[in-house]
Amino acid sequence: MEVKPLQTEKERLTEENHILAQRIKEMRTPRALEIEAHRRGWIKPGERRLVLVKPPSADKQDLPPPSEESSSLFSQMQDWAATKASEFLERN
């Protein structure tokens, strides 16, 4: 039986174990616990859950072409949402 493959396997497993131990340590931080709780659908008292649902797809032939006014309004809404999201991330 050759020793070299076993040593290589041991080194690989030791490195993997070290990486997993680091991930466990990181997951025990309050921010990581909050992220995991949100991923599972849990919220803190006073928080509001936002659910973004993609509307069912419609045939493009049934839709009128977008007007310049509606495109501008949509752009403004996207800018507002991006601003609010970045403000939220900066606070948390």
Residue extents of the structural domains in the chain? 1-44
Q: Which two tokens stand for residue 57?
A: 């797809």
The model's pLDDT over 21-79, given as tens digits with 9 standing for 90+, comes to 999 998 889 888 888 888 888 888 888 877 777 776 655 556 666 666 666 777 777 88
**CA distance to 10, 18, 26, 27, 43, per residue, from 33 (Å):** 32, 21, 9, 6, 12
pLDDT at 11 over 60: yes
Q: What's the predicted TM-score (pTM) here?
A: 0.39
**pLDDT (0 to 100) of residue 91:** 81
